[in-house]
Structure formats: C-alpha cells, structure tokens
C-alpha cells in the first residue's frame, strides 16, 4: 500500500504534545497508529497530546506493565504497549482484534513485537531522539494529512 510520508521536528516535550493534538484532529474511528522509537523517544508524550485533543477522561500514561490503557473521550482510545510481549500471538489473547472494531483510536507502542497483526492501512509514526528536547518524527499515512 502506498503511503504519504511527512516529516515533523518538535523542539520540546510540550511541542510533541501539541503535535499529538494536531495529529489527533485528523483521526477517524478505527484508526490504528503504530509508534516506533527507542525507550524515552516520546511515544507516550505524543499519545498525551492525542488523548488531550480527544478529551480523554484521564491523562495518558505508559501502559508498560498493564499492556493496555483504555480512555473514554470523544472516541474511545486504546493505548497498547507491546514492549514486554514475547510472542506476537499474545496480543490476540488480550482481545486485540476486538479493539480494532470498537470504533475508537488504537495507539501501539513497540508494534514491531506484533508486526504480523498490524493492518496494512495503519498510520506509522517513527519518533527519533535527537537530543534531550528535540524529536524528529516521520509519519507514513495511507491518506493525506494536513500536518
């Protein structure tokens, strides 16, 4: 599938959150966003902005130990952290397929752990750590986005 590629640079954690808000303005029910990046790259920081824009009922936090955080908002938000998943099929036992059909937004940190279960039409974000404040973000989307 051909994807549109965009590049964004943020110069602070607040700017990464703000980008998450702008990005969220273009999301649709059942969108799946994969978040690639090293530890502390800014994946959860970006997710905070998405959740803020969608009026989540609580601030986004990393689901590293719970594997998934669910937030109620303008649309349901399902935030997965697959870092600790050892086998891709573990995600199925968590009801992953059902989450994809709930009419919400699905954000997945460490999607490479479950690559065989990621739909081709997902929106991919690659967050690269430049220095303590700066992040370079590449977005690969199956549809045009205004960023």
Q: What is the pLDDT of residues 50-84, one digit of tens each?
A: 999 999 999 898 877 788 999 999 999 999 999 98
Reported pTM: 0.92
Predicted local confidence at residue 42, as pLDDT: 93
> 97-102 long-range contacts, Cβ below 8 Å, gap at least 24?
99/68, 100/30, 100/32, 101/30, 102/30, 102/76, 102/78
**pLDDT of 18 above 80:** yes
Angle at 114 between CA 52 and CA 139, to 5 degrees: 50
Residues with Cβ within 8 Å of 74's Cβ and at least 6 positions away in sequence, in order, are: 54, 55
Q: What's the pLDDT band for 6 if we cut at 50, 70, 90?
A: very high
* DSSP structure class, residue 114: G
Q: Domain 29-133's class?
A: alpha beta
pLDDT, tens digit (0-9, with 9 covering 90-100), for 77-116:
999 999 988 888 888 888 899 999 999 999 999 999 999 9
């Amino acid at each position: 599938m051909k994807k549109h590629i965009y590049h964004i640079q943020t110069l602070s954690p607040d700017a990464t959150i703000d980008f998450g808000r702008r990005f969220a303005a273009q999301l649709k029910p059942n969108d799946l966003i994969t978040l690639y990046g090293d530890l502390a790259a800014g994946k959860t920081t970006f997710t905070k902005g998405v959740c803020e824009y969608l009026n989540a009922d609580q601030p986004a936090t990393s689901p590293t130990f719970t594997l998934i955080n669910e937030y109620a908002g303008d649309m349901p938000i399902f935030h997965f952290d697959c870092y600790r998943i050892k086998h891709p099929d573990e995600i199925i036992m968590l009801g992953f397929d059902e989450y994809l059909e709930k009419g919400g937004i699905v954000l997945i940190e460490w999607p490479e752990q479950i690559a065989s279960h990621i739909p081709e039409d997902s929106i991919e974000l690659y967050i690269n750590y430049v220095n303590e404040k700066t992040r370079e973000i590449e977005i690969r989307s199956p549809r045009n986005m205004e960023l």
